[in-house]
Structure 1
Amino acid sequence: MPVGANPCLSPRGLRERAVAEWERHLRKLTFAAALTLGTCLAAPALAQNNSNTGETAPMDLTFERVFASPSLDGPAPRQAKLSPDGRYLTLLKNREDDRERYDLWAYDREKGDWSMLVDSEKLGTGRELSEDEKMQRERARVGSLKGIISYQWTKEGDAVLVPLDGDLYLARIGGEVIRLTDTEESELNPSLSSTGAYVSFVRDRQLWVGDVGAEASPITPKEGDAIRWGEAEFVAQEEMARLTGYWWSPDDRRIAVERFDESMVGIVTRAAIGATGTKVFDQRYPVAGGPNAVVELFVMDPDGQNRVKVDLGENTDIYLARVDWAPDGSALYVQRQNREQTALDMLKVDPATGKSEVLFTETAAMEDYWINLSDDYKWLDDGSLIWWSERDGFGHLYRYADGNWTQLTKGEWVVTKLLGVDQEQGRVYFQATRDDVLAQQIYAFNLANPGEVERLTDLFYTNAGTMDGKAQTLLVTRSNDDIPPQSYIADGQGNQLAWIERNELTADHPYAPYLASHQPTQYGVLLAEDGTLLYWEMVTPPLEPGKKYPVYFYHYGGPGPQTVNKGWNGALRQAIVDKGYIWFALDNRGSANRGVKFEQPIYRAMGGVEVRDQKAGAEFLTQFDFVDAGKIAIDGWSYGGYMTLKQLQADPGLYAAGISGAPVTKWELYDTHYTERYMGTPQADAHAYEKASAIPDAAKITDPLLIIHGMADDNVVFENATEIISKMQEANVPFEMMLYPGYTHRVSGEQISPHRYNTVFRFLEAHGVTPPE
């Protein structure tokens, strides 16, 4: 096994090394955070377990109940916003009888009562969404939601713009609802202008604008199927977290509008195979190494007149990363990223002429690294900029003013979100891992003294926040492993003003019947081959002396998500534990929120270091006397599905079985912006692509394998699955497969989700990965 992979139960020398590393790390944490993590090295104590001693008889969870309504997590409000005058708090609230359907509710802070502002079932038409809107929702990761998924306050605060079933409505506070559009086509990216005078949206590849309550008209030309105005191109939506393609100026005098031409982008013929038929879509999909859409930016009047083209430079093979107006509308700021994603230019654009200049250039924090795009920045009224950067090896905040940089936060921790800037008070709010990498908190500092950082939230919880535009009110969501998400409003000092959703685990909470069997989560660390600390989490069923238990080893493994954290993780893992399995997860090198050096090892080496780190986790598990070393099963989706294949290929016999959900099997089949960020191009880095591919060694898989894929997947296209199943069939290698007709990359639903997990555990049972009798 790799040296140092098992700090808790390794030979004495390795144990001492692990303890020393862990103690060194603890000295960097606050005392409170240290208390929550410092016991992890006493791993054998886990065997004593934690069986519930309550009087209520434990009730096992089924997968059917996990995904049924009402949600076992309790109410899950979304998009909490304050009205411009601060009187109303609005949010989207899901229904008890349909956890995926959301209605718009408002809380009158003067009267102290809640009321439903828009009933999505009564108002909605049930009209099927256009394919463009369906795919856009998939890329925004809200494809499963129904009813109202977004809304926007008017500037006066007397009404809310509500998109519903592809059309637009204006809901007034008094109860009146005005229908603004009634078309077969969907109105994409609807928005009220900055002053609230206009409503705008994209329809049929054009940007439309009209006075609120009046007919809208297209302000951009119709130029064929390959050219779109006002939309974000595929990779911007899927990989860059940019879902819009137009931006109103603060005074409504001008609009910046994207135009993209994807005629040169390769076509993937996507057969959306459904239960009763097949629809074929010729989807423009920019695969790694292939052409991207050519993106241009224009500035125009609200009626489309006085159009000028923004100078984005001579090189058209770039990414339009972000677009923002100066607070006074005097300039347009455009972030231009190079194709290699190693440099990002901040352009200052004259909106009258389109002329641009490079204000500054952000470069990758180290050699053989990339730039992680961020929304954590803000232009201030005085012309300065609060900016997130990894330039010192960790994600921190800086201030750019008059051509000079000042670092505002510093340390071996990461700012994960800039929440807001109260410019009147000179106070900056942010979310970070400063106290505990597994439990983010909310902090603030004054620009006059950034070294004095205040924590505004409770270390007992993992916290996340949003703020109003003036950064005067905090909306905090918090949870931990035993308390589902709660949300409240707080002032700028963190003092709680009112609950949004208390979500207490009282007798009438949906999760209450299952509390008696709820098992706590254990946390710890182990060492990677190079001595890097890797965090893990584990949930065990009540352990009986002398018995060994199978492990459901969940992984993602790719760059971006952090799997191991101290927040509420829902009922699914408890259902798995109720079946008699140990839940285990590990964050390998390459994942987020640990700094540049932690992410960097996957550069030009996908399917390498992550596989070895997960192997260290599996070997670590075998040292526990309550773990059945011959029954460690791995399961992952998307990048995790890819990891399952690579792990089975790398270490035959280590894992009892593997589930590979919607896997990327060959990186040449995945999109440009994501793949090239880490892997370069197939043309320049052919060896790295060949080594990372799951195809060449497909025939070497000897352990039981289940492949799952949605047959209409527009993200990890179905060809990824057909490539590997063909290879294995031609080599006469056995495997199993479950396909979901009509489903995209998101294979989920009230009946489909339990079907998927029941399939997984039937597969495990068939191959002897079962709990003890």
Structure 2
Amino acid sequence: MTKPQQSSSAPSVGPSFPRLHARTQRFGLGAPRGFSISPDGERIVFVRSGSGTDRTHALWVLDLPADGGTPVERRVAEPSALLSGAEEELSAEERARRERSREGSAGIVGYAVDAAVELAAFALSGRLFTAGLRTGTARELPVPGPVIDPRPSPDGRWVAYGSGGALRVVGTDGSGDTELAVPEDAHLTYGLAEFIASEEMGRDRGFWWSPASDRLLVARVDDRAVRRWYIADPAHPDREPQRVGYPAAGTPDAEVRLFLYGLDGARTEVVWDRERFPYLARVHWSAAGAPLLLVQARDQRSGRVLAVDEASGTTATVREEADPAWLELLPGVPCWSPDGRLVRIGDESGARALSVDGEPLTDASLHVRAVLDAGGDDVLVSASAGEAAADPETGETHVYRVSARGAERVSRGPGWHGAVRSGAVTVLVSAVPDAPGAVARVLRDGEQVAVVGSHAAEPPLRARPVFTEAGGRRIPCAVLLPSWYEEGRGPLPVLMDPYGGPHGPRVVAAHNAHLTSQWFAEQGFAVVVADGRGTPWRSPAWEKAVLRDFSVTLEDQVTAVRALAERFPLDLGRVAIRGWSFGGYLAGLAALRRPDVFHAAVVGAPVTDWRLYDTHYTERYLGTPQADPEVYAAQSLLTDDGLSGAAERVRPVMIVHGLADDNVVVAHALRLSSALLAAGRPHEVLPLSGVTHMTPQEQVAENLLLLQVDFLKRSLGGFPDHQPGGRGEGGGGTVAGA
């Protein structure tokens, strides 16, 4: 496709919005993240890159003088200096780890600290480094590599790390490096999270230090039963395919066991009913009590919170959990409060509630998302308005202090707020709808004492989402119109831009979250983002409405666009939909099942046959292919009646997929294309060579957006003439002043 050319008389030329969006990683580069706060409240540690286009993150400290003096930022570890200017090289294990966490940047993207937050450990190019956070001195420890996930002991004397499938321990002075847990064969690893733990459970760790720094809990993963798949690179036929273990629905998972290791090599297995509860979902170990485990049955309808006896490895049940649909895994729980009470979040009485020792502390007016910190007097949580709230607060999430006295909101104003807390100091990170980026404010005893600096780039356009609700179910929505649109110009072609499924909210009260949708709007669309049933953070019933039936997600997209057409200039005769991952599945579902509503679809990295997706995610919603074959058939895009529809039901479809994707493998797209071809359904396929489930490459990300616009305009036709503004609000060409 030929791009519009900038006039030679233009005073300055910058990259297009799509290119800049990719180059800045959605305008997130340069923003501080990954905060840790010292218990004495004197240091805040974080990572940040040098500018809005710099991918390489360094380790920083913000000093907060106890006497109330001026806070000072200082850099304590710079990757280019530590690597003597050499390019960073990632091991296969580190690349996989970053893919699971959707981490596309470079440098120090993660670190761990000791209990006093005086020492940090991190890996660069598979090498182990530590940094003194008081002194600002960084050094390399000479150990075998490639190193993955190094973590200091709480007392700061040791660093445990993974290397070659083994878990090793070294003194922070570089002495005494020891192989603590050694794999007996090539199918075993110690101290690493298995695929489904890091991809689906939100557990990216495989070992945990004791509070006394004298032993560790270590996960042992045996993947010999996991089916092997092969990820080929067709652009390089001379290269062997990558062989990966992938636990597809209905097939064996990796076997996970847990061991207590002393620093002297003593080993004790932690024992629980692994046959009934094979999933190790959470591990918590603090000075407030015995190690806590959360284990789940494979169908995720039952689980147990277990306390581990450190001497014998036996476990005692602290709490039994059950749910007829599934038990949701949430960040920060279960854990002990400082006085030894069990803190958990559960779905009870129609609400997602926080409880301490079985006593509910919140009601249906709050939908609790995560525990951020369990303090002596209160629990800091992230929560959104529940269905019983007086104000729906569409797209907002806030930080609350919860105690027996009730819930007190810490964050202020509409937005998307999160926090990290230690003692009297809190870092409150807030993104709001009407300003780009996010602000990290440092509070001491509730009063602001500093703002952590951000180098994030300024977006060349402004998102203008209108937050509302649609239909009788009050579906949360955001509507974005072109900045140049004037009332009376008539209805606009519609682009539905959802994710629309579990764990993927898109209607969020934050500016940058809607930049791509706004860019599509500037091309002449009215863009609608709708979070229907199955999306998180409204109520348990809302999330669990997709049990055994993903089609309700499509019903809510139809309901939303029809209801919004009564209030916004939406042309229901020209409605397209685009999506990625579950959103790609939803877009394919829309084109095949509701061609009466949707007239074109961009189907990105879709799951087309749920038998090819992983166990923990898929079986939670659909059961197993063996026990529920009719459920799988009903959700599949490959067996849909729409494939053999009449000619008038044919709708243009563009299928996009990364050939290197090891999460949603390209077989999904190829099988859909084959089925469409066999049914005589015209469609386009855009294979992305070397691209995984992420699309971080600048040229790929830029042209992917431009090609989507071209496809959608060709498919829908009749776009209005307009003269976009000069700050990058128009087409896919260059923007001035970027």
TM-score w.r.t. length of structure 2: 0.88
1:749 aligns with 2:700: no
Give the residue type in structure 2 aligned to 1:573. Answer: S
* CA shift in 2, pair 1:472/1:377, >3 Å: farther
CA–CA distance in 1 between the matches of 2:21 and 2:328?
38
1:180-220 CA-to-partner distances (Å, cap 9, x unmatched) read 1465x421121111211111111111111111132522112
Tell me which of 499, 504, 509 is aligned to 1:561: 504
Contact 1:60 1:575 in 2 (8 A): no
SS in 1 for 2:437: strand
Give the aligned partner of residue 702 of structure 1: 650
1:469-548 equivalent positions in 2, closer than 5 A: 471-491=423-443, 494-501=446-453, 510-511=457-458, 514=461, 518=462, 520-527=464-471, 531-541=472-482, 542-544=484-486, 545-548=488-491
CA–CA distance in 2 between the matches of 1:71 and 1:462?
16
Give the aligned partner of residue 9 of structure 2: none
Contact 2:338 2:374 in 1 (8 A): no
CA–CA distance in 2 between the matches of 1:685 and 1:755?
41
Give the aligned partner of residue 526 of structure 2: 582
Tell me which of 587, 592, 595 is aligned to 2:536: 592
Give the aligned partner of residue 298 of structure 1: 259
Contact 1:653 1:703 in 2 (8 A): no
SS in 2 for 1:663: coil
Tell me which of 232, 244, 264 is aligned to 1:283: 244
Contact 1:273 1:712 in 2 (8 A): no
1:252 aligns with 2:213: yes
1:410 aligns with 2:367: no
SS in 1 for 2:508: coil
1:441-452 equivalent positions in 2, closer than 5 A: 441-446=398-403, 450-452=404-406
Tell me which of 288, 304, 319 is aligned to 1:360: 319
CA–CA distance in 1 between the matches of 2:418 and 2:680?
50
Contact 1:547 1:772 in 2 (8 A): no
* CA shift in 2, pair 1:620/1:769, >3 Å: farther
SS in 2 for 1:322: strand
1:624-648 CA-to-partner distances (Å, cap 9, x unmatched) read 6732323221000000111111111
1:632 aligns with 2:601: no
Give the residue type in structure 2 aligned to 1:683. Answer: Q
1:602 aligns with 2:507: no
User: Which range moved further: 116-125 or 486-495?
Assistant: 486-495
Name structure 1 gaps, 5 residues minimum: 1-58, 504-508
CA–CA distance in 1 between the matches of 2:274 and 2:507?
44
User: Which range moved further: 722-731 or 271-280?
Assistant: 271-280
Give the residue type in structure 1 aligned to 2:165. Answer: R
CA–CA distance in 2 between the matches of 1:227 and 1:687?
36
Give the aligned partner of residue 174 of structure 2: 214
Give the aligned partner of residue 427 of structure 1: 378
Give the residue type in structure 2 aligned to 1:180. Answer: L
User: Which range moved further: 166-175 or 728-737?
Assistant: 166-175
1:538-580 CA-to-partner distances (Å, cap 9, x unmatched) read 1101323233322221011111222112112343233222222
Give the aligned partner of residue 32 of structure 1: none
Give the aligned partner of residue 340 of structure 2: 383
Contact 1:73 1:511 in 2 (8 A): no
Give the aligned partner of residue 268 of structure 1: 229
Give the aligned partner of residue 408 of structure 2: 454
1:638-681 CA-to-partner distances (Å, cap 9, x unmatched) read 00111111111111142221001100001110011000111111
CA–CA distance in 2 between the matches of 1:371 and 1:486?
28
Contact 1:85 1:157 in 2 (8 A): no
SS in 2 for 1:389: strand
1:641-652 equivalent positions in 2, closer than 5 A: 641-652=584-595
Q: C-alpha displacement at 1:493, in angstroms?
A: 5.0
Contact 1:70 1:99 in 2 (8 A): no
CA–CA distance in 2 between the matches of 1:596 and 1:472?
33
Q: C-alpha displacement at 1:157, in angstroms?
A: 4.4
Contact 2:661 2:692 in 1 (8 A): yes
CA–CA distance in 2 between the matches of 1:464 and 1:615?
32
- What is the root-mean-square deviation in Å for CA atoms of aligned residues? 2.5
CA–CA distance in 1 between the matches of 2:411 and 2:565?
38
CA–CA distance in 1 between the matches of 2:227 and 2:628?
20
1:195 aligns with 2:155: yes
1:90 aligns with 2:38: no
Q: C-alpha displacement at 1:485, in angstroms?
A: 3.2
* CA shift in 2, pair 1:762/1:708, >3 Å: same
* CA shift in 2, pair 1:510/1:350, >3 Å: closer
Give the residue type in structure 1 aligned to 2:158. Answer: Y
1:252-294 CA-to-partner distances (Å, cap 9, x unmatched) read 1221111121111111122244568544122111111111111
Q: C-alpha displacement at 1:160, in angstroms?
A: 2.5
CA–CA distance in 2 between the matches of 1:526 and 1:156?
49
1:455-505 CA-to-partner distances (Å, cap 9, x unmatched) read 22212433211212xx421111112221123334444653222111378xx
Give the residue type in structure 2 aligned to 1:511. Answer: E
CA–CA distance in 2 between the matches of 1:551 and 1:493?
48
* CA shift in 2, pair 1:552/1:275, >3 Å: farther
Q: C-alpha displacement at 1:72, in angstroms?
A: 4.8
1:136-173 CA-to-partner distances (Å, cap 9, x unmatched) read 1111121x111110123344544422322221112234
1:236-263 CA-to-partner distances (Å, cap 9, x unmatched) read 1110011111111100122111112111
CA–CA distance in 2 between the matches of 1:343 and 1:275?
46
User: Which range moved further: 723-732 or 587-596?
Assistant: 723-732
Give the residue type in structure 2 aligned to 1:550. Answer: P
Give the aligned partner of residue 345 of structure 1: 304
1:324 aligns with 2:284: yes
CA–CA distance in 2 between the matches of 1:206 and 1:510?
41
Contact 1:522 1:539 in 2 (8 A): yes
Contact 1:295 1:316 in 2 (8 A): no
Give the residue type in structure 1 aligned to 2:407. Answer: V
1:374-414 CA-to-partner distances (Å, cap 9, x unmatched) read 433430243211111112222111111xxxx2111112430
1:304-349 CA-to-partner distances (Å, cap 9, x unmatched) read 22x1111112616610111222415x62221111111011111122
* CA shift in 2, pair 1:604/1:646, >3 Å: same
Contact 2:17 2:460 in 1 (8 A): no
Identity across the alignment (%)? 28
SS in 2 for 1:258: strand
User: Which range moved further: 409-418 or 640-649?
Assistant: 409-418
Give the residue type in structure 1 aligned to 2:625. Answer: P
Name structure 2 gaps, 5 residues minimum: 1-13, 386-390, 722-738
TM-score w.r.t. length of structure 1: 0.84
Give the aligned partner of residue 727 of structure 2: none
SS in 2 for 1:395: strand
Contact 2:35 2:46 in 1 (8 A): yes
Contact 2:30 2:53 in 1 (8 A): no
Give the aligned partner of residue 30 of structure 1: none
1:690-721 CA-to-partner distances (Å, cap 9, x unmatched) read 10011012444711101111101110111111
Contact 1:634 1:657 in 2 (8 A): yes
CA–CA distance in 2 between the matches of 1:444 and 1:738?
48
* CA shift in 2, pair 1:274/1:98, >3 Å: farther
CA–CA distance in 2 between the matches of 1:625 and 1:472?
47
